[in-house]
Amino acid sequence: MSEREPSSKDAYPLPDDLDADNDGIITADELVSHFDSDHDGTVSVDDYIEVSKYDKIDKNLDRIKARRSGKKGFFRGPESITFLGGIIYGVVFFSIMSALSSGFLSSSVNNSVWLDQEISNTFLDPAGEECLDSSGVVWINIWIDNDANKIRMRVNNAQPFEDDAKQLRMQFVQTDGTIVGEKIFGNTSEGYFDFSPYYDDEYIMEVYFHNMSGINMSNLDDEERADIIKTAPLYTEGNGPATLPIEIHTKEPTFLPWDSETVQEAKVTEKGQRVCLTFRQLGGWSWALMGAEWAGGRETAMLTGGSAGVPAWWMAFISLSMSIFFLCVQYPLMYRFYHKDIDDILSEEEIERVVEGALKRCEKQLHLEIDWDGFGVRAGSLSVDVLVPYRTTESSVIELGNVNSEMVKVVLDDFKIYGEMTTFQLKSQPLDDHRGAFETLSHGLQDIELPELNAERPALVQDYTDFF
Q: What is the pLDDT of residues 227-244, one digit of tens each?
A: 999 999 998 877 789 999
Distance (Å) of CA 186 to CA 25, 157, 165, 170, 190: 98, 18, 10, 11, 9
CB 189 within 8 A of CB 168: yes
Ranking 58-62, 123-127, 461-465 by mean pLDDT, the lowest is 461-465
460, pLDDT greater than 70: no
Q: What is the pTM of this model?
A: 0.59
Domain ranges of the chain: 73-132+273-339, 143-242, 344-444+460-468
* 3-class secondary-structure state, position 83: helix
Mean pLDDT across 372-376: 87
pLDDT of residue 206: 94
Q: How many angstroms separate the CA atoms of 228 and 224, rounded? A: 6
DSSP of 288-336 = HHHHHHHHH-HHHHHHHHHHTT--HHHHHHHHHHHHHHHHHHHHHHHHH
> Could you tell me which residues come within 8 angstroms of residue 277 by beta carbon, excluding any fewer than 6 positions away?
113, 116, 131, 285, 309, 310, 311, 314
Mean pLDDT across 393-406: 84
DSSP of 173-217 = EETTS-EEEEEEEES-SEEEEE-TTSPSEEEEEEEEEEE-TT---
> Could you tell me which residues come within 8 angstroms of residue 204 by beta carbon, excluding any fewer than 6 positions away?
172, 173, 174, 175, 243, 244, 245, 246
Tell me which of 1.10.3470, 3.30.2450, 3.40.50, 3.30.300 is the CATH number of domain 344-444+460-468: 3.30.300
Q: How many angstroms separate the CA atoms of 113 and 131, rounded? A: 10
121, pLDDT greater than 60: yes
Tell me which fold the domain 143-242 belongs to: Immunoglobulin-like (2.60.40)
pLDDT of residue 80: 83
State how beta strands 383-392 and 423-430 pair: parallel
> Same CATH topology for 143-242 and 344-444+460-468?
no
* 199 closest CA partner among 248, 238, 240: 248
